[in-house]
Structure 1
Amino acid sequence: MSDRVVPSADRRRRRPTKQGVVLSAELIVDTALRLIEEHGADALSVRRLGRALGADPSSLYRYFRHTDDLMLAIADELIGRTLRVWRPTGDWRADLRDLGLRMHAGALAHPRAAMLSAHRVTGRTHEIQAVESMLGVLRGAGFPDAEAVRIYHAFVDQALAFGALDSAGTALPRSAREAEALVWRTTYARLPADTHPHIAATARHLVASMPGSSYPAALDLLLAAAAALLAEARAD
């Protein structure tokens, strides 16, 4: 896509496409998400999107200026999908844990899109809502403003980083994933104690833990550290 854009008032297509659907920004984003999961980043082309929508590729300029504009909309939609199923309870630690796990699960549901969008800042509706909500949880718990921002920053970067990391693993062929999991049993679990005493002593734990994601454990460590900081702030 180029930087050409149609004024917002004229964006909605009034006639159905060849497939009998009326174009909208939401439909284009949903279609792009599906194509990304099927074909990767190459799916974000005007020609491929137009073909999937049964529409003239030029009609996409009514909604997005270029492919990066569409990518930001996709990133924001992934955030929105998480927020729609998150229900804060008032318990800051439980609420952030639930949100983090939902963010991680959302990334694994769209692994290729997550890898493409985890590092982006959209400045759009859902991202703004997410930032406001998370800071509200932290400030409502009693964290000083500077500490609330510091914890928010660490929390969101941790969730996005693990989402991208684990999505990359999920995107591997099944045979490659199984081969890597096997390494822990066939290599690490068999290292002798006289040359690798620490690996040998913990081998059964490594075999059980390493093939899975460490995000839940990392999240709990972060929230425990945050709780300790809050206790210090209250004491002061």
Structure 2
Amino acid sequence: MTTTPDRSVVTEDARRRRRPTKQGTVLSEALIVETALRLIRQHGAAALTVRRLGAALGADPSALYRYFRNTDDLLLAVADELIGQAWTGWQSTGGWRSDLRELGLRMHAAYQQHPQAAMLATYRVTGRANEARAIEIILGVLRGAGFPDPEAVRLYHGFVDLGLAFAALDAAGLALPPEARAAERDVWNHTYSELPAATHPNIAAVARLLRAEMGRSAYAQTLEQFLEAAEVRLQEVGSC
């Protein structure tokens, strides 16, 4: 009986295209992911096809299957690359709260750099190296702070989902066509600002504050509230 070789143990060097493409480049996982990110940024989710990638790389589309089983496998690699970009250059300060704050802001910023890809990637579990490193470090920060393991796992879950939810929400806004984004700003600047106090007294009372607040992401302040709650919880479990 014949068996199919386990692709996961084949090194990239063994799968690398040995001849340059028509554009004179040698294919690699990193080059394919980089090209996929560029195409998604330019054309959205529809760009993530073997045919389009092959054309952009100057390679036969079938050559991409040396590196990825299918487009979903490639999407997971793209998702993992975004995680890796968030962590590039990060170093621990030794303070759990400042470490989590920095990691959360980095994660959010990385996704905002690639809003179209973020909408495809934020809800995926990649099972790849960058994601595993992120999980390990965040859990290490929480356990090192003194949170018992059940608390550390719950806080890890909340911390990551909070960051990814805001990343997806804010990325969706950035990915809107310019005219749609302008129309949304007009709603806050004019539609709601001009509602009369007689019918909408609460909106009218804070209209100026709404205009200033709703034009920016609420992630940083919500992250701070999460960290404050986590610190209170750490004090509670420490006193038990």
TM-score (norm 2): 0.93
Conserved 8 A contact 1:5-1:65: no
Give the residue type in structure 1 aligned to 2:113.
A
Residue 24 of structure 1 aligns to which amino acid in structure 2?
A: S
Partner of 1:148: 152
Partner of 2:92: 88
Contact residue 5 and residue 62 of structure 1 kept, 8 A: no
What do the CA deviations read for 1:144-170 (whole angstroms, capped 9, x no partner)?
Answer: 111111111011011111111111100
1:54 deviates by: 0.8
| CA RMSD of superposed structures (Å) | 1.7
Q: Which residue does 2:165 correspond to in 1?
A: 161
Residues paired across the two proteins, number: 234
Deviations 1:22-48 (A, max 9, x none): 110111010011011111111111111
Task: Tell me whether 1:118 sits opposite 2:118 in the alignment.
Answer: no
Task: Report the equivalent of 2:18.
Answer: 14
Give the alignment partner of residue 229 of structure 1, picking from 220, 229, 233.
Answer: 233
* 2:30 counterpart of 1:26: yes
Cross-structure match for 1:62: 66
Separation in structure 1 between the aligned mates of residue 18 and residue 233 of structure 2, nearest angstrom: 56
- Give the aligned partner of residue 49 of structure 2: 45
Partner Cα distance (1:41, 1:183) in 2: 28
Counterpart residue number, 1:189: 193
User: C-alpha distance in 2, partners of 1:100/1:228?
Assistant: 19
Q: Does 1:129 align with 2:130?
A: no
Q: Distance between the aligned counterparts of 2:126 and 2:199, measured in 1?
A: 50
Q: 2:102 aligns with which of 89, 98, 104?
A: 98
- Whether the 8 Å contact between 1:5 and 1:63 is mirrored in structure 2 is no
Q: Helix, strand or coil: the match of 2:22? A: coil
| Cα drift, residue 15 of structure 1 | 1.1
Structure 1 segments of 4 or more deviating over 3 A? 4-7
- 2:204 maps to 200
Moved more, 8-17 or 226-235: 8-17
Structure 1: distance between partners of 2:80 and 2:207: 41
Q: Distance in 2 between matches of 1:62 and 1:183?
A: 49
1:73 aligns with 2:77: yes
Measured after TM superposition, the shift of residue 5 of structure 1 is: 8.8
Letter in 2 for 1:8: V
Q: For structure 1, list consecutive stretches of 5 or more residues without a partner in the other structure.
A: none
The one-letter code of the counterpart of 2:146 is G
Contact 1:15 1:22 in 2 (8 A): yes
Q: Is the CA contact (8 Å cut-off) linking 1:5 and 1:61 kept in structure 2?
A: no
